[in-house]
Every structure is written in C-alpha cells, then in structure tokens.
Structure 1
Amino acid sequence: MAFDTEHEPGMTAAPAPRTEGFRLNHCMLRIKAPERSLDFYSRVFGMRLLRKLDFPELEFSLYFLARLDPDEVVPEDRDERTRWTFSQRGILELTHNWGTEDQPDFSYHDGNEEPRGFGHICFAVPDLDDAVRWLDENRVPFVKRPEEGALKDVAFVTDPDGYWIEILEPARLGKLGNGA
C-alpha cells in the first residue's frame, strides 16, 4: 500500500473526495519596498517574477515569484501566464501596500517576536555548505548557522523585511525529529 499520511490526533483518516485537486499554491509576505525585495529573491535565491498584478483602487501590488526548473515552460501570454501561475506549487507572493516604502519607521511584524505567529518560509538546497558560502558572499544576515544550536544542518537567514528563511539540504535530514 502506498504512503498516504502520518497519523496523529486530529488528522482526518481520508481526504474528502471533494478536496481532490486542492493544492497549496502560494504563501504571501507583505513587503515594504518592492525593488529591494525583488532584488533579494531574484539575485540571492534565483527566483523569477512570473506575474505582477496591480490594484490601483486598493493601492497595492502583488508579485508572484518562483524558482523555475531550466526546462520549465511558462506561457508568454499574460492572461494565460496568470492562470498558469495560479495552478502551480511553491509560489511566493510578495504584497506591496503602496506608500510603505516612503515611511522611514515602517516595518512588518516577522512573526518571530512576541506575539509569535507566522514563522518562516523554507528553501531546500542541493548543498548546504555551498549555500551558506553564497549567502555569506551576498551578505545575507544569519539568525542561525547550520552548526549552531541543538538543531544542526539547518540555517535561518532574514530577508530585507526581516522575515525568516530556513535553509536546508534534504539529504542531511533523514533522521530529523526521530527522538520523540
């Protein structure tokens, strides 16, 4: 029998048939300055901007980014690319509320200070040591390096708005969390 789910209290035994086809498409972070965040995610993490959507009546813009595979084909037509974007997995949506970039003391809550809430996004990398060198070369601030703390082989850095980003190499994590 193929793996279906781990079983924990509260976990539904089987997905409802009407949820067939549901998938997590994107996660959203609010950003203060689009140019700064777009530079960070494209230069440091290799993400590409799939689609920008502006909402002048509501004074905000949405930027949908993804790390594309080299052979991935993205539609050229804007409407088709919008539909395609909303059918993918692993999309990062950056939301810019217009005017925040002009407010010197403005910042968003990163979720890791009190009151705690949102925690982080995560990038899996093929080589954690090389990724750490790359992040150092790009002067990305570390919250935790892989060799620090009780949880080894996992790093945390911050983006320009202070959101935490976990960096991990899947090959190193087979035994993670087996102590409980």
Structure 2
Amino acid sequence: MFRIKDAKVSLKFYTEILGMELVHKSDGGDFTNYFLAFPEEGKEHLSAEEKADRKFMREGILELCHNWGTESDPEFKGYANGNEEPGRGFGHIAVSVDDVQAECDRLEKLGVEFKKRPQDGKMKHIAFIYDPDRYWKKIRIVAKDGTRT
C-alpha cells in the first residue's frame, strides 16, 4: 500500500499514464483506499457484474491510501518513499513491458520524471520513474516466455 497526498493526481498517473484501472474504492473514517490493477487480457468480454465479482481475483493489485486533507495542506511535505532518509526500507515496484526504450519514450512525452533511464549506468534493460509521491517504479523488459532479457 502506498500513502498518497492527492488522490486525483495519483489516480490520473496510475490510470492514464501507467494504464491501470480502478477496480475498487473503499472509504474509511477519514481516508479512502483505491485498488488498481492492469486490465486482464482475455477478460474484456466479461460483463460489469462479472468483473465486479472477480475484482480481487487478479494478479498485481496496487492499493493507494489517501488521508483526507493532505492534498490541500500547505504544511504537508509528503510521505517517506523508502529510498531516502527518513524512512529508508521500501525500494520500488516493477512493471514489465516488451520494450523498455519505447515505454520510456512514451513516458517522457507524457512528462513523467525519471530517476534512471536505460542508458544510465550498467543495467540497460531497466528504467526507474517517479510517481506523483516520489515512489519509484521500475520499468523492465520481460520476454513473451516470461524470461528477463
């Protein structure tokens, strides 16, 4: 689960930029949890009711938690992303794509900020981007047979 400052900004990033879909929203006392996942291949034919019945029976569900009011609080500095002090510990999540460079080109055109591009450093098959709350997302290549290239 990622804590997010502004639900509108984060949902736009994950749905419009990364291509995930909102599968469930749950309001708590003073927070909202959003559950997102990539569209399921081969399930496009399912009705809305069938999709709702299986919303948590998918791989790779991402939970975002928005504590109400943080988006408009000028004193709120954001959450620890796990890669910097304070709060070092969590690293990143990974998203697999067929072509890292093509995906990086697409993300760059959309104005996404990069931590590392494929040409930076020794690992040419990966890139890292930031989400709106500065959490890292690793973009990596995985071949059609599931092996890393």
Which letter does structure 2 place at the counterpart of 1:39?
A: K
Partner of 1:111: 82
The 1:72–1:105 alpha-carbon spacing in structure 2 relative to 1, beyond 3 Å, is farther
**What TM-score do you get using the length of structure 1 for normalisation?**
0.73
Structure 2's unaligned 5+ residue stretches are none
CA distance in 2, matches of 1:113, 1:168: 22
Residue of 79, 93, 97 corresponding to 1:125 = 97
Q: How far apart are residue 70 of structure 1 and its match? A: 4.5
Query: Is contact 1:75-1:84 (8 Å) kept?
Result: no
Identity of aligned residues (%): 43
Paired position in structure 1 for 2:114: 142
SS at match of 2:80: coil
Corresponding residue pairs, total? 143
Question: Which runs of no fewer than 5 residues in structure 1 stay unpaired?
Answer: 1-27, 175-180
Asked if 1:100 is matched to 2:70, the reply is yes
Could you tell me which of 21, 31, 46 is aligned with 2:4? Answer: 31
Structure exhibiting the larger radius of gyration computed from Cα positions: 1
TM-score calculated relative to the size of structure 2: 0.87
- CA–CA distance in 2 between the matches of 1:89 and 1:70? 11
| Residue 85, structure 1, aligned to residue 55, structure 2 | yes
Q: Secondary structure at the match of 1:124?
A: strand
Displaced runs of 4+ in structure 1, greater than 6 A?
Answer: none
Match of 1:41 in 2: 14
